[in-house]
Every structure is written in C-alpha cells, then in structure tokens.
Structure 1
C-alpha cells in the first residue's frame, strides 16, 4: 500500500527521549489523518543494538511503530538505509530520536513540498531544550573558504556576515523560508522519487557528514533543499551523540571523507590537510567528556518545580515525582527555576515549543507527554540531558 509519508528514526540508547518523540509523532499522524481523511503514515524505528532495553520498553507503548533491532551498531547511515529499503511513502522523513514535533509538522511540511515544484528536500528551524535556536538548522556548502571561516573563528566573530558566516548562512533570516545548501539529518524530509535517483545515505559515513553528503547529492541531481521556516521542532542536541575528543575526531574525519569524495583539483590536498590538522588540534583542546545515552536526574537538596500546561498530565507528573525523596511544587511561576511543561488535551506540543522560545536564560525546562511516566529535559546543547522516570 502506497503511503504519503514514511518516518525513519535511528535509535541508540535514548529510550526515554524517544518515548517523548514518538508521542509527538503520534499526535502529528493524528492531525494529518484528520486533514487527509486516511491514515497514510508509517513509522520505522531502527535500533542500533541499544543496551538500555529500548525496544522492550517502547514496543507495547507504540503499536503503530515498526521496530527493527540490529545485532550490532550499524551506524546512522546504514541504519537509515535499512528504513529506506522498506519505505512505501511518497516522502521520507529522517528524524532523530531526541526530537519533539508540533502537531501540524507533517501537514505543513508536506503541503510545502507538494506546492513547491523544485523541492527535493526540506529542513526546519530547530531549538534546543532551553528554546535556543540551533544554527545547524540551515547550512551552506562547506567549501574551502567556508570551512576556513568556520574553523578559524571568523564565523563566530561575524555571525551575520554573508562573507564570513556562510557555514550557518547567518545572513539569512531564521524566520524566513529560503533555499539552502545543507539540511540537518535530525529532521530531513525528502521525496522518495528523488532518493531513488540519488541513492540514500553513503555508508562510508558512520556518524556525521552523511547529511552534508546527501544534501549535496540532492542539489547535484537538480533539486533544491529548502529551509522551511513555518515549523519549529525541539532537538535535544547531543542526546544520541557525544561531545568529547572522539566526537571531534569523528566529525572532522567525516569532513575529510566528504572532501575526498567530492573535491578534486589542486586545492583538494590543501583542504584535506587543513581538516586533518584541525582534527588533532580540536581533539587536544577538548576537555568535555561525556557518555552515551541519558542519565536519570539526581538532586542535592529539595527540587522545586512549577507545572505548566494540562492538569491531567500534571497529575501524571506528580506521580513521577514521587520517586524523589524530597520535592516541592511551586504555585507561583516566578518562584521556580525549573518548569515542567505538561502536554495533554488542553496544552499541545506546539504550545510548548512556542513557549520554550520565550524562556528566560535562568529557566530549566522539562517536558512531559501525556500518558507517559517520564519527564525529559536538556539544559545545554553541549551536555547530556536528564530523564526523570517512575519505574
């Protein structure tokens, strides 16, 4: 049976974040079903040999999802290609497990793709768990000059310059739809017919660089990549990756692979040499070390939360919080530094996303999806997030 959309999610040891993600996917499917009059979305979760019992935890909770468990970690590219081989959708959405979508994500994005003749792929604005805009939502082609500006710090010093900030396309308004070079693999919607021509992800990229490579090949095939500004998602960046020296080496190794694959001529050797030098320089100065996956939260003292949103969902939160030896719920918002946004029938994921955009810097937000016994949050894009769990 031909589907309108196939959603492919590759998971590795982030079952609690994936649970919240799938709750938002279910709501987005529901809204699109109402809009089209039929259920025409299929969802695949490809599990890369997680050791946290992801499939066992999630399978009964989400019967609409088709779970595939790999016996070894195949990497991001190969696992996504497993999903492509099974996909029946006119469009394919590659989605990270540590994301949360608004209810109208599918209807809006597909409507844009249907009405834009030259659109081969689409990405959207992403915010982190504190509401901060993620610059990698749109990127330029990593030419020698663009890469030099990024690695030398010029991009950081001149974040809106058309000359120096092309890596993140800082000269383009974040709130406007534009054609861009590179889309993020955290949320990338692609025409299946286009993928049939270009092929899926290049499996030489185990992690990182695969979205750059695919975006480039989509452009080379004569299609456009669009940054579609009318749909914002949460991406708890880094939940399924790590930001230590190994991450730095993997990232720049992927860039070297990209250069060797697509760059030719007398400057290719210079570009490759520059990237390899940066690998060791960045790895040497990286001092942040993290582990894979989530961590359950531990407090010293008495945590105090303000519950915002749906009352029924808030009662579920109270049940989860009973796992704490001591906690308090604050009635006055201004008195609490930690808010839990409770999604439910009277408070949508879209409302949570819009409110996160206005969060003050001091606020530590968490999110709870109705019907779950989990609360998740990430208070820095460079640190692992937290999961509060009742088990």
Structure 2
C-alpha cells in the first residue's frame, strides 16, 4: 500500500465529513487507506463516520489522549509505505497526494513533506513553512521583528521567509496539519512525543527528523485549505498547554538560561492571550449571496433557506469573480457547490481571488458533495461556521 492518511478528530463532525470526503476523492488513483482516530468526541462524529464512510477505519478512543498519542495510535495500524498526518479541519485537492508522493519519491534522505496551506478565504498561512524556533528565532516571533524586517536573514527565519510561498525548497519545520513521510521513518524516530500533549509536537517531530540527517521540504505545487483552530477552544486551558508545550521543546532540545526561560514563558503567555482574543467567531450579517452551482434544485433550496438575495452563477470563472457584483457597502458571501466543482477547482478559486476578497470583505463557504450543510470560516482566527440546508 502506498499511503495511509491519519486523521485525528475531536468534536468537529462537519469539518471531518468534508475532510474525509476530500481525502477519499484524492485517493481514487492511489493504493491508500484512511484511518480516523476519534479522541472521545461528544458530538456525533463517530456516528457520521459509520453511516457515511463505513469502509473507513475508525478508532474510537475512550478519552482525549492528545494529539501525539492519538496520531501514534493511528500510525500503529497503518499499512502504507508513506503516511500523511492530516487535520480534520483541512480540505485537500483531488491530485494533492499524487503530486506530493511523486515529489517525495524523487528525494534522497527524505524527511517530511508539507504543502501550501491556505485559510478559508484563500490567504496563505505562513506556518506552512517554518524555521527551528531557537531562542533567538522565537524572540523575533514574539517581538514581531520578523514582520519589521521580512527580508533580513537575521530576523526572517521563524516563517522561513527566505523561501517564497510559491517556491519549493528545504525548510526545517512543518505544521502538523499536513505532514507526509515514510512510515518507517516515523516509527524510527518514535513518532510524536507523547510527553507533549499538543502545540509543539509538530515542531519536535520535524526537528527530530532533522537530527537524523534527513531533509524536510515545503512543496508549493499543491494547496490545501486549513481552517485552523477547529479542534481547540482558545481558553485558559489552551494558554496553559501552550506554555507547557514551548517549555517542553526548549527543555528537550536546548540549554537556556533561567532568565530566558522566564522570558519565553511570559512571551508564550501573551502570545496565547492575543490568540485567544483573536479567536472569537466572526459573525457577519450577509446582505447578498452568490451561489456557484450548476444545480438549479440546489439554488432553489438555498434561496429558500437563506431568504436573502441570491445571485446564481453556473460556472466558475476565476477572472471575473466580482465583475457582476456591486459590493460597495454590502456584505457578500460566495457559496461553492462541490457537487458541481471539484475541491481542486474550489481551492484554486479561493487562492486566485484572495486579494479581491480582502478588498471587498467577501467571505466563502463550501457545500460539500452530497451534504445538507455549508461550511467555512472568515479568517484564520475564526472558529468557522456551519449552516444547515433543510
């Protein structure tokens, strides 16, 4: 078997459904498998999986064992030569795995491969590629110096800004939302360190792989949506675990002074506090909707459900997204029908029009294939929103 895709889920039933659907489509031409590990969700994630995806391997943990252990449990039963660690709040294109595996097989001393990640409005997520957060690199991140001097080698290592988002190349650290590597290597390095509950686990695994003399790669030729934050509420527990995670990584890999350790703890606290304030769900009052779909029945159903003005467009034309709209002073949301358009086309659509969406404040939602809901988020800090379609 070529590839095992491991998806660790916790209380994100609708995002999980969309994710598994996209992965299923992406594995059509690959000898692969999907393994969903559920960390004792209180929603109906497991019931949904059994009903809609009965052929997918489902592991139901009786407790929330954390990100590292949950993924290790999935990898333990995987049969693929390669594994992909994938967040449930992601959407991959139909050719994502084909492209990534072809690239991976060309490399010698392969470590981990990551791809370009975008948020729900098409904006590039800089954590798609990062540098080792040494004390100095972490300092430039916490103080914002990486923003002030983005072209300086001295300051731009946290997000590996020496490498353009549209350029494939070696990087040190990849994000745990999407990681492809050989299963044997994952097992050789011990997988994710279960002493770390979450938040520095991907940094630790990436760094451990580097210590083995392997090379990690950021691969820009395929993009995936990562809505972010869906599995984690940014509360006091989050801040506590964030501080513990950073402390864990430094204690394991670096010898730092007591003074710097105190600084990092304070920095991690304020960084987490900012994230908490940013993570409030953005509720917008939508004035008009635009439905991209070839299905007139869906158009009538959505129009009835939303009871707002609805523009109906039957074809995606990436170059004329807003040409027919007068969006001045209006909040407009674009609805993309996955029954009519592939995930690859939808992802390309979001990327192509990200600048216009920022300019006009336009938001997006996807209606996944054969579902009765629309799903999306309005920023990388937004928890996301699901609207049922009766």
Q: Deviations over 1:319-365 (max 9, x none)?
A: 356444x2332247514611011123x52111111110123211111
Which residue of 201, 205, 210 maps to 1:210? 201
- Residues 374 and 389 in structure 2, CA contact (< 8 A), matched pair in contact too: no
Matches within 5 A, 1:249-268: 249-264=240-255, 267-268=256-257
How many residues align structurally? 371
Match of residue 14 from structure 1: 12
The reply to whether residue 122 of structure 1 matches residue 105 of structure 2 is: no
Distance (Å, rounded) in 2 between the aligned partners of 1:17 and 1:218: 30
- Residues 122 and 188 in structure 1, CA contact (< 8 A), matched pair in contact too: yes
Shift of residue 105, structure 1, vs aligned partner: 0.6
Match of residue 70 from structure 2: 79
Match of residue 348 from structure 1: 342
Could you tell which deviates more after superposition, 185-194 or 60-69?
60-69
Match of residue 319 from structure 1: 301
Shift of residue 299, structure 1, vs aligned partner: 7.4
Distance (Å, rounded) in 2 between the aligned partners of 1:160 and 1:242: 34
Distance (Å, rounded) in 2 between the aligned partners of 1:58 and 1:322: 29
- Residues 317 and 375 in structure 1, CA contact (< 8 A), matched pair in contact too: no
Which residue of 263, 268, 271 maps to 1:274? 263
Q: Deviations over 1:126-165 (max 9, x none)?
A: 0000001001000000111101111111012223332112
Which residue of 101, 115, 140 maps to 1:149? 140
Shift of residue 57, structure 1, vs aligned partner: 1.9
Q: Deviations over 1:8-62 (max 9, x none)?
A: 00111111111111111111011x24xxxxxx21111111111111111232211
The reply to whether residue 307 of structure 1 matches residue 291 of structure 2 is: yes
- Residues 91 and 191 in structure 1, CA contact (< 8 A), matched pair in contact too: yes
Which residue of 224, 234, 240 maps to 1:233? 224
Q: Secondary structure at the match of 1:228?
A: strand
Q: Deviations over 1:175-199 (max 9, x none)?
A: 1111110010000001112112111
Distance (Å, rounded) in 2 between the aligned partners of 1:115 and 1:254: 34
- Residues 199 and 242 in structure 2, CA contact (< 8 A), matched pair in contact too: yes
Distance (Å, rounded) in 1 between the aligned partners of 2:363 and 2:273: 31
Shift of residue 231, structure 1, vs aligned partner: 0.9
Match of residue 321 from structure 2: none
Shift of residue 284, structure 1, vs aligned partner: 5.9
Matches within 5 A, 1:46-85: 46-85=37-76
Match of residue 37 from structure 1: none
- Residues 245 and 286 in structure 1, CA contact (< 8 A), matched pair in contact too: no
Distance (Å, rounded) in 2 between the aligned partners of 1:381 and 1:369: 20
Q: Secondary structure at the match of 2:348?
A: helix
Distance (Å, rounded) in 1 between the aligned partners of 2:276 and 2:175: 26
- Residues 259 and 268 in structure 1, CA contact (< 8 A), matched pair in contact too: no
Q: Which runs of 5+ in 1 are unaligned?
A: 34-39
Q: Secondary structure at the match of 1:230?
A: strand
Shift of residue 256, structure 1, vs aligned partner: 0.8
Give the alignment's TM-score, normalised by structure 1.
Answer: 0.88
Q: Secondary structure at the match of 1:238?
A: coil
Distance (Å, rounded) in 1 between the aligned partners of 2:301 and 2:85: 34
Q: Secondary structure at the match of 2:74?
A: helix
- Residues 101 and 350 in structure 1, CA contact (< 8 A), matched pair in contact too: yes
Give the alignment's TM-score, normalised by structure 2.
Answer: 0.89
Residue 46 to residue 320, structure 1, CA distance change in 2 (3 Å): farther
- Residues 92 and 192 in structure 1, CA contact (< 8 A), matched pair in contact too: yes
Q: Secondary structure at the match of 1:229?
A: strand
Residue 173 to residue 317, structure 1, CA distance change in 2 (3 Å): same
Matches within 5 A, 1:369-384: 369-384=368-383
Could you tell which deviates more after superposition, 235-244 or 92-101?
235-244
- Residues 244 and 290 in structure 1, CA contact (< 8 A), matched pair in contact too: no
